Amino acid sequence: MRIMGLDFGSKTVGIAVSDLLGITAQGVETITREDENKLRKTCARIEELIQEYKIETIVLGYPKNMNNSAGDRAEKTEQFKEMLERRTKLPVILWDERLTTVASERILQESGVRRENRKAVIDKVAAGLILQGYLDSLGRG
């Protein structure tokens, strides 16, 4: 059973996929969005990856504020969740993503990835952290 993790942003969507046992998350790719209000190409690519990896569940990063409130980004994420559920017929789980971008930046920095190259992979790494947090919560490892 494979699970997909998504880091949904206004300009990009980071994608990660679990291993077959649902223990580890690996970043797969970052989809660049041409327009924040247009999701057709983004959803089409996500659907291709769902087929390719035989995904059964999607974990979507939920951008709560540090005080635990939900702002504008959270509302857009909830709308994206509903769209994904309609299009894919898969369960979509919202997962608190606070600080995953900060952690991703630190991981890339410590790995020696140059600043100008981090932008291309940071969302994929963040998606991996979101998914790994969810997988760890399942207690399979």
The residue with tokens 């909830």 is 78
pLDDT at position 141 is 57
Are the beta carbons of 59 and 3 closer than 8 angstroms?
Answer: yes
Q: Is the dihedral of CA 71, 99, 128, 105 positive or negative?
A: positive
For the entire predicted model, the pTM comes to: 0.91
- Residue identified by tokens 């140059």 is 114
SS3 57: strand
Spatial distance between the Cα atoms of 66 and 64, rounded to a whole number of angstroms: 6
pLDDT lower than 50: segments of the chain: none
Three-state SS at 16: strand
Q: Is 97 helix (H, G, I), strand (E, B) or coil?
A: coil
List, in order, residues 6 or more apart from 39 with CB less than 8 Å away. Answer: 33, 80, 83
Q: pLDDT tens, 47-83?
A: 999 999 999 999 999 998 778 888 888 999 999 999 9
Residue 15 contacts residue 29 (beta carbons within 8 Å): yes
